[in-house]
Structure 1
């Protein structure tokens, strides 16, 4: 009788341990599954994305992780997004985005949220004030060679009193749309990221904020003039987060936009850019 009781106790204990082990395994498996982050590739321009890194860490707590894919130009990020190589990108103004997808016949991308506006600046290695430039001969001025940023630079030149452009072209004039040279200038179109290195050969260059930042230039310390970002026309230059249309309503993407548009992000942007970018949400 005692032997039978002993056997029953051993069997009961073994069963309990087995059940405990299964329960523990199931729990650990569940915890591991819950701990897996949903990963997305975000296309960015340049190598400094510390503000986005701050956002990434906050998103980790919500089960989302971002992998930063760096690009050195303004062309590949949208092509990579369209082809599915990345899931999102954040590097461009809305007017550039609309112009790019139209010119490249891309119909599967859309904007899902606004981020910041980054004023263009005038930079020169020769003078500290535009008034110091002599106009006895045409001034050499470089502007970006893409449609949206080039048009933006021309509108900026117009606001500075150097040229007048055809009003019917809105925010997308080209050099061919200049109707008057109020001050003689020779406009040189080149890739935006080449302008900083070309400054010694120019009287001045008009440079995108992001490109200037990558080149070690800041609006506050180095620009001798910059755009009035409060003008109504400047809304076209708000920066966006872009995604494929099929993913636009994805809950995780809504969370990413929501997390971007927070006071914590404003602080992170200020740490990274020192006030060079202005939040627009």
Structure 2
């Protein structure tokens, strides 16, 4: 009789554990988790991603954000499987990366475009840039190419029309005999007091306590800048997955566009198809 009681108690205990275990799992989120790689940003970047994460959760998707500080890291992490998708680069960067590293990462959605800006601590307009003036320019290929195209758009130089990603060697006309000082991209804002002109990434401008409104030239956004549009990127294997589709939808939402267009201090504009305010 004693053994029967012991067995009954054991069965009741097991039933209780099973019930609790079942209840625990029922309470857990059944959402799929997607790890997203981004570059470190400011408080506005954090707020933007809070909105995107909330949108994704409504789609049944939990986002885990992994922040990087070096532009070479997000694509390497994507290729190795450490992350599922990233959102930090434009078409030019991705194409150059795939060629250099023999990878086949693919774009699955467009996000933002940042208008090119020229800054000067010495002059208030492009007309004041003197003959023989010095222009600080990035020593990295991709950023240098975009800056040269920006200078061409501003009417200061001309570059070889066949050069999609021009370098200093592709300059075909330089009427003001501008001199170019190549420095690290993160050093451009630091050398502004020493040069006549520079194109500086807005994140570095804001990081230095300056305002993008201090630019003496802003390139109008138009279709010719398509290759400079930032994109969401993943692997070929995952590009058609439901999780990726949900993430793109969460990012390309009206509330995200509204925040980007009206709250960002670094001049981004939401440019995906159907984005509010996009002309």
Q: TM-score, normalised by structure 1?
A: 0.82
Counterpart among 99, 106, 123 of residue 102 in structure 2: 106
Counterpart among 89, 92, 106 of residue 92 in structure 1: 89
Aligned match of 1:280: 271
- Write the mapping of 1:74-93 to structure 2, written as runs, cut at 5 A: 74-93=71-90
- Tell whether the 8 Å contact from 1:218 to 1:276 is kept in structure 2 after alignment: no
- Tell whether the 8 Å contact from 1:119 to 1:277 is kept in structure 2 after alignment: yes
- Tell whether the 8 Å contact from 2:203 to 2:266 is kept in structure 1 after alignment: no
Question: Could you tell me how far 1:31 is from its partner in structure 2?
Answer: 2.5
Q: For 1:257-277, what per-residue CA distance to the aligned partner results, in whole angstroms no more than 9, with x for missing partners?
A: 011111110122135414811
Equivalent-residue separation in structure 2 for 1:222 and 1:46 (angstroms): 23
- Tell whether the 8 Å contact from 2:88 to 2:232 is kept in structure 1 after alignment: yes
Equivalent-residue separation in structure 2 for 1:271 and 1:38 (angstroms): 31
Structure 2, unmatched stretches of 5+, are 1-7, 273-279
Aligned residues: 261
Q: For 1:28-65, what per-residue CA distance to the aligned partner results, in whole angstroms no more than 9, with x for missing partners?
A: 42222xx1543333222223222122211222333323
Counterpart among 158, 168, 172 of residue 164 in structure 1: 158
Aligned match of 1:64: 61
Change (3 A) 1:211 1:89: farther
- Tell whether the 8 Å contact from 2:120 to 2:197 is kept in structure 1 after alignment: yes
Q: For 1:112-142, what per-residue CA distance to the aligned partner results, in whole angstroms no more than 9, with x for missing partners?
A: 110011111101222222222322xx21112
Equivalent-residue separation in structure 2 for 1:142 and 1:225 (angstroms): 15
Q: TM-score, normalised by structure 2?
A: 0.83
Change (3 A) 1:28 1:85: closer
Change (3 A) 1:21 1:179: closer
Equivalent-residue separation in structure 2 for 1:184 and 1:144 (angstroms): 19
- Tell whether the 8 Å contact from 2:75 to 2:86 is kept in structure 1 after alignment: yes
Task: Show structure 1 runs of 4+ deviating over 4 A.
Answer: 15-25
Question: Could you tell me how far 1:217 is from its partner in structure 2?
Answer: 4.0
Equivalent-residue separation in structure 1 for 2:247 and 2:174 (angstroms): 46
Structure number with bigger Rg: 1
Aligned match of 2:124: 128
Backbone CA RMSD of aligned residues? 2.6
Structure 1, unmatched stretches of 5+, are 1-10
Equivalent-residue separation in structure 1 for 2:127 and 2:154 (angstroms): 11
The yes-or-no answer on 1:227 pairing with 2:235 is no
Change (3 A) 1:208 1:163: same
